[in-house]
Structure 1
Amino acid sequence: MNADPAMAPGADGPLPAYRARVAAGKLAADPAQARAAEVLQDLWRRTRGYDPHPEEPEQGGFFARFLRRKPVAPEEAPAGTPMGLYLVGEVGRGKSMLMDLFFGCAEVPRKKRLHFHQFMQQVHARIHAWKKQHGDTADPIPPLADSITAEAALLCFDEFQVHDIADAMILGRLFQALFARGTVVVATSNTAPDDLFRGRPGRDAFLPFIALINRRLDVLVLDAARDYRRDRIRALPTWHVPADMRAEGALDRAFAELTGEAAGEPARLTLLGRSLDVPQAARGVARFDFDTLCGRPLGPADYLAIATHFHTLVLDGVPRLGPENFDKARRFITLVDALYEHRVKLVASAAAVPDQLYERGENAAMFERTASRLNEMQGQEWLALEHLT
């Protein structure tokens, strides 16, 4: 996935691009961001023209190439491979913006930028395809690393995080193989490497991966004082009535503002052997319409996955609720509970203000707590709270 064209800064590197945005008033001057831009500028210089062992194009699609690829034996990182970068800091400090400036001007012929969760979904799909063809005893990691390296010598990951034991068990060997093939990794995260997967069962087996990250990536803490994302959402109206074309336009603008004008793309969340499709997502913001989210037989696990993976939900078209659509109302109640518990910010269009969404019928009293929470979630104190994953 390429970076937003609007982020492309030109040929001089991320530091001049950052300074130009500050001078133009598009960004507020921030010493921590400026220091990070300087580090990224140095990495930009070291990766100019970087292209280890490029390969001739092969016939067929990615899976055809992956399934027939012969593994390359692991080795130490090739001499001259640039160190990557792990940019860590609290949410809203500008990590993704800075990485996009770097990616947009990186002079690496083969490069990819994607959300880390999306990357892991692709990894699991490719491993499943390999085992289906070669059997469960075949080792998919070396050919998978070969294929990823053939696609990109520079991998930029947004929101690097590990919540799943299946991911944790794959990552160590996969990243060791990628580094051995000369892949350069740049990642943003809210979690320092030493705190990844902390407190989870099986973490001892994950520690070699943490050590690998610390060896192959420079760790830079972005300690900007302001949470720019929360500043943006606190300046936005979050509940739009009625749910008409005007409200839809307002939600379009809110999504663009909260994602830094990033083009949202479909995403998929994996839940215990099944998946949940997200129609539009970018930089921790998800967008659904009400019927997609509450008109289908989804349950608490689905809404919990959304609440832990996204700091903001943009929701189109909440209707008036009542006994005639109580199944939808019940799911909406469950959704709001999950959002509330994890401090997810909600921007929505609706047929009425929360107190008037469910006014009649025997279950109207049940909705009173939900309406109270929806009202609280519009307040400045709530919007200033940190997302809980």
Structure 2
Amino acid sequence: MSGVSTTAPRAAESIPSSPLSLCARAPRVPAGRLVAEMVPPPRFDSVRFDTYIPDPGQPSQQAAVQALTAFGTGLDGAPQAGRGRKRWFRRERGRGTAHQGESPRGIYLDGGYGVGKTHLLASVWHAAPAPPERKAFGTFVELTNLVGALGFQQTVDTLSGHALLCIDEFELDDPGDTVLVSSLLSRLVEEGVALAATSNTLPGRLGEGRFAATDFLREIQGLSAHFTPLRIDGEDFRHRGMPEAPEPSGDEETVRAARRTPGATLDAFPALLTHLAQVHPSRYGAMCEGLAAVCLTGVRPVPDEATALRLVVLADRLYDREVPLLASGVPFDQLFSEEMLRGGYRKKYFRAISRLTALARDGERLTRAA
């Protein structure tokens, strides 16, 4: 990234030792824990369809609530293992394709960032009458991490007894992973697992009114026949009627707030970026567990795309866990270069900016307490 120094400010490089530091955390997550934690994250633990507030100016939001409510409550429990199990799809010639005239038992929610897709997907999980151990919820990245940890066949065996699999933010930017997950979903469909998914359709394609995007249709091949597409429009709720993002704090104010907040971490932003490169993204959630706040000094534009994508994953995990964020340096809307915001990963970057800004609002109280 031309013209941007990646050297930390002097104050950020000389932070005194802190009781807690993200850079000191490199948890190891057993494969079994990855499966057990496939539930809606803490932020979405208590959400339900009736806690979603549709924008009156966006009729598609109320329509989505109605359609997803019918879908979630219409699922009738987990399939039983062994032959003769009840299947969501009638099998034809050994494939899990939907029977002609029968409605697909998968649903796909397509929309922009901040319109409440994750809220609604978690509500589907909560509404489904199957017991929690027969329902799974995770992001596309978490699902690929699970395949990497367990292997393809063991992942099929582990999830095939489920009634429902919810996949948040189905990725379009990695064809290899997309094909891998598509193959996994095809196998699960054959085993009778119902599917619900949200998209990460790029902003430039949001007005096309199609089931996902052309790339998605190509990569998932015949799997699209199992989904009913559902479009949801609207503005980012995190900024609707809300004040602008708070100004960054100073280094001294950030350090003081971190030291006065039990359970807060304190790190120099460049050091954190270096640490993230040494920890697999599947561990970022565990790295954020139990934190009261994250305090960062010397925030500045990220130097490259690989670093930016790791930061996006961390932002998602912090947001899921509702961890307030206090930072000095540049505002979060200056983290990513104009080139990045025009590129193929721009949807991820806009989502990260939105979520980090929301967490920064939560972090304002730390300076008042300090």
| TM-score, normalized by the shorter chain, greater than 0.5 | yes
State whether residues 46 and 82 of structure 1, in contact with CA within 8 Å, keep that contact through their aligned partners in structure 2. no
**Residue 177 of structure 2: SS of its match in structure 1?**
helix
Aligned counterparts of 2:150 and 2:174: Cα–Cα separation in 1: 17
State whether residues 145 and 178 of structure 1, in contact with CA within 8 Å, keep that contact through their aligned partners in structure 2. yes
Aligned partner (choices 257, 260, 270) of residue 245 of structure 1: 257
Equivalences for residues 259-270 of structure 1 within 5 A: none
Partner of 1:230: 239
Partner of 1:169: 179
Unaligned runs of 5+ in 1: 56-72, 128-139, 199-205, 253-268, 321-331, 351-389
Shift of 1:36: 0.6
Change (3 A) 1:316 1:8: closer
Change (3 A) 1:337 1:319: closer
Partner of 2:46: 7
Cα displacement string for residues 312-366 of structure 1 (whole angstroms, at most 9, x for unaligned residues): 888956579xxxxxxxxxxx99x9653664355255689xxxxxxxxxxxxxxxx
**Residue 155 of structure 1: SS of its match in structure 2?**
strand
| AA matched with 1:146 | D
1:97 aligns to 2:136 (yes or no):
no
1:185 aligns to 2:195 (yes or no):
yes
Change (3 A) 1:44 1:54: same
State whether residues 138 and 166 of structure 2, in contact with CA within 8 Å, keep that contact through their aligned partners in structure 1. yes
State whether residues 182 and 219 of structure 2, in contact with CA within 8 Å, keep that contact through their aligned partners in structure 1. yes
1:216 aligns to 2:226 (yes or no):
yes
Partner of 1:374: none
Shift of 1:229: 2.4
| AA matched with 2:257 | M
State whether residues 248 and 316 of structure 1, in contact with CA within 8 Å, keep that contact through their aligned partners in structure 2. no
Supply the RMSD in Å over aligned alpha carbons.
4.6
Shift of 1:222: 0.6
Change (3 A) 1:222 1:149: same
> Percent identity over the alignment?
19
Partner of 2:74: 46
Partner of 1:195: 213
Partner of 2:280: 275
Shift of 1:77: 5.3
State whether residues 114 and 157 of structure 1, in contact with CA within 8 Å, keep that contact through their aligned partners in structure 2. yes
Change (3 A) 1:308 1:318: closer
Where relative contact order (Cα < 8 A, 6+ residues apart) is larger, the structure is 2
State whether residues 7 and 100 of structure 1, in contact with CA within 8 Å, keep that contact through their aligned partners in structure 2. no
Name which of structure 1's ranges 215-224 and 236-245 shifts more when overlaid on structure 2: 236-245
Change (3 A) 1:2 1:238: farther
Aligned counterparts of 2:145 and 2:299: Cα–Cα separation in 1: 21
State whether residues 307 and 339 of structure 1, in contact with CA within 8 Å, keep that contact through their aligned partners in structure 2. no
Equivalences for residues 56-75 of structure 1 within 5 A: 75=95
State whether residues 156 and 185 of structure 1, in contact with CA within 8 Å, keep that contact through their aligned partners in structure 2. yes
Shift of 1:108: 1.6
**Residue 278 of structure 1: SS of its match in structure 2?**
helix
| AA matched with 1:300 | D
Aligned counterparts of 2:126 and 2:97: Cα–Cα separation in 1: 25
Partner of 1:61: none
State whether residues 91 and 229 of structure 1, in contact with CA within 8 Å, keep that contact through their aligned partners in structure 2. no
Aligned counterparts of 1:211 and 1:290: Cα–Cα separation in 2: 46
Alignment length (residue pairs): 260
Cα displacement string for residues 140-184 of structure 1 (whole angstroms, at most 9, x for unaligned residues): 44x43122113x220111111132233033123211111000111
Partner of 1:131: none
Equivalences for residues 6-45 of structure 1 within 5 A: 7=46, 9=48, 14=49, 17-18=50-51, 22=53, 29=56, 31-45=59-73
Change (3 A) 1:303 1:187: same
Aligned counterparts of 1:104 and 1:209: Cα–Cα separation in 2: 26
Cα displacement string for residues 47-104 of structure 1 (whole angstroms, at most 9, x for unaligned residues): 0x3221247xxxxxxxxxxxxxxxxx96435978961110001111121112222222
Partner of 1:207: 218
Change (3 A) 1:164 1:274: farther
Change (3 A) 1:208 1:278: closer
Q: TM-score, normalised by structure 1?
A: 0.53
Q: TM-score, normalised by structure 2?
A: 0.55
Aligned counterparts of 2:140 and 2:158: Cα–Cα separation in 1: 17
| AA matched with 2:178 | A
Aligned counterparts of 2:241 and 2:39: Cα–Cα separation in 1: 24
Shift of 1:247: 10
State whether residues 82 and 184 of structure 1, in contact with CA within 8 Å, keep that contact through their aligned partners in structure 2. no
